[in-house]
Structure 1
Amino acid sequence: MDATGADAGGMARTAKSGGVRAAKAAANRARMLAAARDLFVAQGYASTSMQAIAKQAGMAVQTLYFTFATKRAILTEVLDVEIAGDTEPVATLDRPWVAEALAADPAGQLRLQAAASARILTRVAPILEAVRSTAAHDPEIAELWQTNIAQRLTVQTRFAEALAAKTGLRAGIGTDRAADLMLAAFAPEAFHLLVHERGWQVAEWEANAGDTLIRQLLPDGPQSG
């Protein structure tokens, strides 16, 4: 084998080895995030230590600190992953379901928003409840909670603007108020109360949220969707 062949073989082995290491690192990261999520939900953020997360994940605590540095960093990434449903670096407003909803007729848009919110909140409402309950006495987590609200409002404002461009909103409703009503209808607190505390089925919550926004935001008359 000539030098060129030897170099190519070495590069292939190096690439393969790097791929294996990357896959192992990603799997370990996912284990740590899953362990943190389960513990934050089960016993609260404040009561969960880095040592406990490492033990739950079956990892050395030094590995946990090396990967995330702080408990808040873990919580932030847990939220990001649970909201997205994956680890892809794609913003919410760039997700395919958003484009589908924005392209729908007015009632269809609101029902697609409710369907997406049901899927997202099924994943993230328990961890958001842990964040909300901690925010009352932890300034760092209070800041994280406010950031989450602001992010949700940004998304709903985009939807409200799109809705207003498709149809005249109900009299007295502007885009700011429409965004606020969407924010309230899809609030994780309401989802947690009705689904986890009152025993509603997720499909019932979804239908109610969509119907409520159609009544609140759209003018009277036949609506598609």
Structure 2
Amino acid sequence: MIRADAGDIRRSYDAAARRARGDADRAKTRDRIVSAAQELFIANGYRATSMAAIAAAAGVSSQTIYLAIGSKAAVLQSVSDRVILGGEAAAVADLGWVHRLAAEDDPHAQLRILVTELVSLAERAAPIWRVTQQAAAEEPELAAAWRRHEEGRLADQRALVGLVRGLAVSPERATDIIHGFLRPDLWQVFGIERGWTRDEVEELALDLLAHLLL
């Protein structure tokens, strides 16, 4: 039987540790890039934000951005993904609140969970939503990404509706209502333009959706 000596074990351990440090450093670099890009896109818009400006704000080179994420369109998509998922998980189905929604037996309590989380998402997403929507009108790559995003949002909401008990309308109608109402435009109009508080927006959404869906 061949046994590894202490030197082999130490070299293997050191290599694994270096890989872990490298992965952590790359993740931190990517996070700095996405954070810097988010601030610049919201402040200046997509067209006026250059890769050089993002690189300077993140403290990296433009080449590092291309290697870590890709084109400016890919950077905007990374910003959008982080805003939507809130940094919690890799997919909507993995989010903690979705598990709470599925485990809840009371339809009204389920609807409150859904409204609370989707209004929170609308608040987070409203600024970058407008940037992405405007950019999609200018670049074919972003227009295709926008369509895929909207299709994915609709599919996610269809899955969420499937978890809600006691619906008084068809799942497809319920999906359309939630898709059309609980969107970033909701926060743009009520929260930003009209100055409503988060609680006020949530109560409005909950009253309307309870009346329409349950």
TM-score past 0.5 threshold = yes
Distance 2:167 2:147 in 1: 31
Shift of 1:143: 2.2
The whole-number CA distance in structure 2 between the counterparts of 1:175 and 1:108 is: 18
- Tell me, what secondary structure is at the counterpart of 2:163? helix
Alignment-derived partner of residue 60 in structure 1: 61
Change in 2 beyond 3 A, CA 1:43/1:168: closer
CA contact (8 A) 2:30 2:69 kept: no
Paired residues in the alignment total 211
| Deviation of the 1:122 alpha carbon | 2.8
Aligned to 1:217: 213
Structure 1 residues 145-184: aligned runs within 5 Å: 145-163=146-164, 166-169=165-168, 173-184=169-180
Contact between 1:185 and 1:213, CA under 8 Å: does it hold in 2?
no
For residues 109 and 138 of structure 2, what CA distance do their matches in structure 1 show? 41
Runs of 4+ in 1 over 4 A off after TM superposition: none
> 2:198 matched to which residue of 1?
202
SS of the aligned residue for 2:49 comes to coil
User: Mind listing any 5+ residue stretches in structure 1 that lack a counterpart?
Assistant: 219-225
Q: How far does residue 154 in structure 1 lie from its aligned partner after superposition?
A: 1.0
- Matches for 1:12-27 after TM superposition, within 5 Å: 12-27=13-28
% identity of equivalent residues: 33
- Cα separation, 1, equivalents of 2:182 and 2:4: 63
Distance in 2 (CA, whole Å) between partners of 1:42 and 1:118 is 22
1:3 to 1:188, Cα distance in 2 relative to 1, 3 A: closer
Aligned counterparts of 2:39 and 2:99: Cα–Cα separation in 1: 32
How far, CA to CA, are the matches of 1:48 and 1:187 in structure 2? 25
One-letter amino acid of the structure 1 residue matched with residue 101 of structure 2: A
2:92 aligned with 1:92, yes or no?
A: yes
> Which residue is 1:101 aligned to?
101
Find the residue that maps to 1:59 and give its secondary structure.
Answer: coil
The residue type paired with residue 196 of structure 2 is: W
- The separation in 1 between residues aligned to 2:160 and 2:4, in whole angstroms, is 59
